[in-house]
Structure 1
Amino acid sequence: MELLCAERVSPSSAAPAPALASVARAAAPDPVLLRRRVLDNLLRTEERYAVTVNYFGAVQTEVTPHMRRLVAEWMLEVCEDQGCQEEVFPLAVSYLDRFLSTCPVGKSQVQLLGTACLLLASKLREPGSRCLPADLLVFYTANSITLSDLCSWELLVLSKLKWDVAGVTAHDFLPLLLSRLPLRGLVNTDMVHRHAQTFIALAARDYEFTLYSASTLASCSIAAALRGLSLDGHLPRLQELTGIDLDCLQTCLEQIEEMVQNMIEDRAVSAPNGQTREAAGWTPPPSQDKAHSNAATPTDVRDVHF
């Protein structure tokens, strides 16, 4: 059998334009993925990746919810600074919780674990070759870990998760649920989608939201986004789509609204007269030029006595 290819490609078509060569192309939206069977499959599969027990005290004897929140906020800062896909941070936090629910870690290993989870999530959810570089993640920790440590913990996390890293997150439910709500002509669904993504990211920082299923968090984030746009009354329809108890949805929705309200009040108290976070002692993330940037570990994370 002859495998020689005699095709000739002109230089103009072989070399991509410099402006387009560095752009990572993501797949276009596929309407087939919005079918009801996809939603049903996600609802069945999400239980496999759910954390159903309070691992503080039962599994973790040194790590506290406060430490988890600090590391989760740092992970969110890294994702925002690097312009990661919205799905990366919730998936990384899902890895973090699944690992902590099965394997005890020490105080000094929490940020290393979060860094490994970020590396894995970016490899899975970032298009093309845009995943977070390992050496950049080490730099974001103010070089408190080594590249060898990160690679070793990446394999450790994979082994503890049994290499099952294609987890279901609340982001996966957003397009499926939004496409089934009667919103046409009433509101910009893209805006609702963005607001719901923000609520999901904020909720991922707090451990209390970990015990909710991904579909519950997605439904309540959509409901909260619609309420913020003066469109209420869609919670019963979301309950029909997901089969979740209406009281559970109502409780989660109230917690999301309380979380947002508390965050607004905290920002008003901690940053009066338009002061920025830098004035409060927060160290900003580094720019791409590592040689002239400060370390990106938030001050309050470093102040935890590991």
Structure 2
Amino acid sequence: MDLYCCEIAENENTAYDDPTLLQDRVLRVLLKTEDRYVLPYSATLSKQKEVTVEMRKIVAEWMMEVCEEQKCQDEVFSLAMNYMDRFLMCCSIMKNQLQLLGTACMLIASKLRESRPLAGETLVYYTDHSVTKQQLSSWELLVLSKLKWDIASVTPHDFLRHLLNRLPMEDNWMIRPEMVLNHAKTLITLCAREFTFSRYHPSIIACASITSALCGVGWVGKSGRTLQDLLQRLTEITNIEKDYVEECFNQIDKMIRDSTCDQATQSSEVNPCDNIRPGEFTPPPGKNQEHEAALTPTDVHDVHF
């Protein structure tokens, strides 16, 4: 039997889908395990005296840019945000430590999911050297200890293949599963930025993201089925109540519409960040530097939404 190499890109090594791992038993284990890594539905950042939801989102966007520029696996960013949220629920920090926390979470997540983890020196560079490698190592141990070394979190990405393989997606509808998969991955990444979605089970986010992706590519019209038919099918697969998936689906739809409106507003008005003064976070590196896309956040306390 021939051996195949599944390398797609220089930094990405993936395996072929294993039918054994897509069986019902594996899906049931994922559904049972995910409860351990979800925040309570009424969770807030009440334990934090300085850190707010808006600050979390700004650092999350910076982390997303770093993961994108470093071509990390899709799961790394979602996993890092899960670590961050669980840490913030049990340990109070100062606002000038939030970027350091996010950097440590990315380091841990990349070690768990990447074949080539992010280097500490690279992450220090992306912070514009506002943290040291020694601080990063210390916070890595701090995060691991606060999470009790339970870092093999279930993410929405883990459910995508299981769900898509069980949905009716005939070829004559001209809808390729890979296209739906890529759309769903993008939506899951955007959901990880928002603290609201940290209270949903990963399976619910995965179901809602697939639903939104299928609606976006015209699945409802091409298949002759309705949105409720799709939600009902996902309920049968996961045993999740349809109302939960529909609620998350509506939240995703609202997030996309709000994001579109914000982009339209920013393109027609003066940049609101022009008058922001530097604060606890160091200013971004110069535009002539190599990694200009992943800018260090400005003072999250002074950003108004």
Q: TM-score range by the shorter chain?
A: 0.7 to 0.9
Aligned partners of 1:103 and 1:26: how far apart in 2?
36
Query: What's the counterpart of residue 12 of structure 1?
Result: none
Would the alpha carbon gap of residues 135 and 211 (structure 1) be closer, same or farther in structure 2, given more than 3 Å must change? same
Alpha-carbon contact 1:278-1:284 (below 8 Å) kept: no
CA contact 1:284–1:296 (8 Å) conserved in 2: yes
Matching residue within 250, 255, 260 for 1:254 = 250
Q: 1:181 aligns with which of 158, 167, 172?
A: 167
Shift of 1:138: 0.8
Q: Match for residue 201 of structure 2?
A: 213
Aligned to 2:17: 29
Displacement of 1:295 in angstroms is: 7.9
* Stretches of structure 2 lacking an aligned partner (at least 5 in a row): 1-7, 221-226, 277-282
Paired AA for residue 228 in structure 1: G
| Aligned equivalent of 1:153, options 128, 136, 139 | 139
Residue 197 of structure 1 and its aligned partner are, at CA, apart by 0.6
Determine the structure 1 residue equivalent to 2:154.
168
Alpha-carbon distance in structure 1 between the residues aligned to 2:153 and 2:90: 16
- Give runs of aligned pairs for residues 51-130 of structure 1, distance below 5 A: 51-52=39-40, 53-57=42-46, 59-127=47-115, 129=116
Render the CA deviation track for 1:47-89: whole Å, top value 9, x for unaligned: 01111141411x2222111111111111101011111111110
Structure 2: how far apart are the matches of 1:280 and 1:215?
A: 41
Q: Distance in 2 between matches of 1:258 and 1:40?
A: 30
Q: Is the 8 A contact 1:216 1:252 kept in 2?
A: yes
Distance in 2 (alpha carbons) for counterparts of 1:195 and 1:277: 30
Residue type matched to 2:211 in 1? A
Corresponding position of 2:298: 299
Alpha-carbon spacing, 1:23–1:98, altered in 2? closer, same or farther (3 Å): closer
| Partners of 2:156 and 2:85 in 1: CA distance | 15
Instruction: Report the Cα distance in structure 2 between the residues aligned to 1:28 and 1:207, rounded to whole angstroms.
Output: 33
229-238 or 112-121: bigger deviation = 229-238
1:56 is aligned with what amino acid?
A: L
Query: C-alpha separation between the residues in 1 aligned to 2:118 and 2:94?
Result: 25
* Distance of 1:179 and 1:134 partners within structure 2: 38
| 1:280 CA drift (Å) | 11
CA contact (8 A) 1:139 1:296 kept: no
For the 8 Å contact 1:286–1:296, the answer to whether it is kept is no
State whether residues 51 and 94 of structure 2, in contact with CA within 8 Å, keep that contact through their aligned partners in structure 1. Answer: yes
Deviation, structure 1 residue 250 = 1.0
Q: CA–CA distance in 1 between the matches of 2:274 and 2:73?
A: 29
Name which one, 1 or 2, has greater alpha-carbon Rg.
1
Spell out structure 1 runs of 4+ moving beyond 4 A. 275-290, 300-304
CA distance, structure 2, for counterparts of residue 278 and residue 156 of structure 1 = 33
- Candidates 260, 264, 269, aligned match of 2:265: 269
- What's the CA shift for 1:265? 1.6
| Percentage of matched positions with identical amino acids | 48
| Structure 1: gaps (5+ residues) | 1-19
| Map of 2:223 onto structure 1 | none
Match of 1:14 in 2: none
**CA drift at 1:268:** 1.7
After superposition, the Cα gap between the structure-2 partners of 1:286 and 1:212, relative to the gap in structure 1 and judged at 3 Å, is farther
Q: Is the 8 A contact 1:99 1:161 kept in 2?
A: yes
Return the TM-score normalized by structure 2: 0.83
Q: Distance in 1 between matches of 2:253 and 2:144?
A: 35
- Equivalents in 2 of 1:121, 1:109: separation in Å? 18
Inter-partner Cα distance in structure 2 for 1:280 and 1:191 = 41
TM-score (norm 1): 0.83
Secondary structure of 2:57's counterpart equals helix
The aligned counterpart of 1:49 is: 37
Superposed CA RMSD: 2.9
Larger mean Cα displacement after TM superposition, 117-126 or 262-271 = 262-271
- Per the alignment, in what secondary structure is the counterpart of residue 299 of structure 1? coil
